[in-house]
Amino acid sequence: MVHIGPGTVDGRVVAPASKSDAQRALAAASLARGRSIITGYTPCADTDAAIGVVEALGAAVETRGGTIVVDGWRRDAAPRVDCGESGLCLRMFAAIAALHDREITLDGRGSLRSRPIGMLEDALRACGVACRSERGRLPLVVHGPLRGGTVAVDGSVTSQHVTGLLFALPLAGDDTRLVVERATSRPYLAMTLRTLEAFGIAIEADADLSMFSVPGRQQYRATSYEVEGDWSGASCLLVAGAIAGRVTIDNLDPQSPQADQAILDVLRRAGASLTIDGHAVTVGQGALAAFEWHAGDAPDLVPALVALACHCAGASRITGITRLRHKESDRVSALVEMFRGIGGEVATDGDALVVAGGPLRGGTAETRHDHRIAMAASVAALRTARGVTLDDSACVDKSYPHFFDDLRLLGARS
């Protein structure tokens, strides 16, 4: 348990590595014949799970401080791989595992074992992969080889299984026309295409990233790749600056395709003070006012934005929240319950969260072992009457193990 007391923040920290970017780089490096060097790595549970998966699927991996060395396609794939609690890891590497002409079982732990995977199975079957699961839950058994052709998949809940297909299909024996129906999280697909290009893969996409032309029989090129700083992890700390002082975060690319770079737009709308100097972003307090924002492409921002909205004058409205029910927790009910528990006025209205700004008393935050709920509660604690005690602080290890250290560096009391 960790207690975050009320107070101000004023300081500078470095954003951790983007686990989304790092996992994509690991996938590409594992498929390249030769040695790739991935720099800018900072450990977290999800990235470490991806390292374990690429090793199980045949790559050799060595970590050297902030560098990962990957020798792709070194040995045969293991019959079973563990995706930890990472949804991206499961959905991306399921398609890569299906490149093999043998049964491979993908499993996970914690909340990942209860998350539905029917959409993933449908996408794999559309590419000729035999698969079976436990009534739409893990473990998932896949048996390739994955084939190209004309393929249509549902992208309404997540784009992660689309990312998996985009990594695997360039190695299929046939060309592919991949159509994504009701595509969401398009910025993450843009990240995928950028990574693929860096490793020598050519894919043509239409403007709204709902149709892809994927030539088969391509070869990944081993290369050097630098992982970006993580806008998702930085979002709560930037909100801390907006509500409780001033924060500068280094290692953030304002031109990044990461979906959660959208935090800059929301902070501007809300009235926070915002300065960008190269890859350093500074956010300070301003006259914060209620905002409206649609979460369709960046659902991971919602916990941080609820913390922000609690300190904005008026009622803020965050729409497009349905997809949050299938994260590490049901984040819709988790956010309502947690913020109400510390004195906030948060309610659902159809596909929206409505947050009335006002003082928070503090208390105990039920995180449901969800890293983003824990980080949002910690930041909200800075503007409470008596602080917030988190029932689980270790859950931040999933994406940002040093979150509480950085929060303390900024001046938070715990």
pLDDT in tens, 128-155: 999 999 999 999 999 999 999 999 999 9
d(CA 318, CA 323): 13
214, 240, 265: which is the final residue of a domain? Answer: 214
Q: Is residue 225 part of a domain?
A: no
Q: Among 162, 189, 214, identify where a domain stops.
A: 214
pLDDT, tens digit, for every residue of 372-395?
A: 999 999 999 999 999 999 999 999
CB-CB neighbours of 376 under 10 Å: 29
Instruction: Give me 102's structure tokens.
Output: 């043998």
Q: For residue 375, what is the domain's CATH number?
A: 3.65.10.10
Whether residue 376 sits in one domain with residue 344: yes
Please report, in angstroms and rounded to a whole number, the separation of the first and last CA atoms in the chain: 10
343, 296: one domain:
yes
In a domain, 252, yes or no: yes
Amino acid 74: pLDDT:
85
Dihedral of alpha carbons 373, 396, 7, 259, sign: negative
Give yes or no: residues 205 and 236 share one domain: no
- Please calculate the CA angle 145-187-317 and round it to the nearest 5 degrees: 130
Task: Taking the CA atoms of 127, 133, 138 and 144 in sequence, report the sign of the dihedral they define.
Answer: negative
HEC profile of 261-275: HHHHHHHHHHCCEEE
Residue ranges in the chain whose pLDDT is less than 50: none
10 flagged as catalytic: no
Please tell me the predicted confidence (pLDDT) of residue 171. 97
**Structural contact between residues 96 and 27, judged by C-beta atoms closer than 8 angstroms:** yes
pLDDT at 327: 64
- Residue 414, domain member (yes or no): no
- Contact in structure between 302 and 291 (CB atoms under 8 Å): no
- The last residue of one of the domains, among 214, 242, 261, is 214
User: Are 321 and 356 members of one domain?
Assistant: yes
Residue 223, domain member (yes or no): no
Q: Are residues 273 and 184 in the same domain?
A: no
Within-domain flag for 168: yes
219 within some domain? no
Are residues 242 and 281 in contact, defined by beta-carbon separation less than 8 angstroms? no
Q: What is the 3-state secondary structure (H, E, C) of 370-401?
A: CHHHHHHHHHHHHHECCCEEECCCHHHHHCCC
Of the residues 21, 260, 300, 370, which is catalytic? 300
- Residue 62, number of CB atoms within 10 A of its CB: 11
DSSP secondary structure letter of residue 78:
P
385: containing domain: 2-15+230-409
Residues 285 and 365 in one domain: yes
Q: Could you tell me if 191 and 279 lie in one domain?
A: no
Q: Is residue 67 part of a domain?
A: yes
pLDDT, position 324: 78
Asked, as a colleague might, if the bond just before 145 is cis with ω within 30 of 0, I would say: yes
Residue 243 and residue 207 in one domain: no
Domain count, the chain: 2
Residue 345 belongs to some domain of the structure:
yes
Same domain, 241 and 340: yes
- At 306-345, the pLDDT tens digits run 999 999 999 999 999 987 776 666 899 999 999 999 999 9
- State both tokens at 207: 């403007």
Predicted pLDDT of residue 146 = 96
Is there a single domain that holds both residue 6 and residue 27?
no
**Residue 73: per-residue pLDDT:** 87
Specify whether 111 is located in the same domain as 243: no
Do both 129 and 278 map to the same domain? no
Q: Write down the pLDDT at residue 1.
A: 82
Q: Tell me, what's the pLDDT at 210?
A: 96
* 8 Å CB contact between 284 and 317: no
Quick one: DSSP state of residue 257? -
Q: What per-residue confidence (pLDDT) applies to 88?
A: 95
Question: DSSP string spanning 79-112?
Answer: SEEE-TT-HHHHHHHHHHHTTSSSEEEEE--GGG
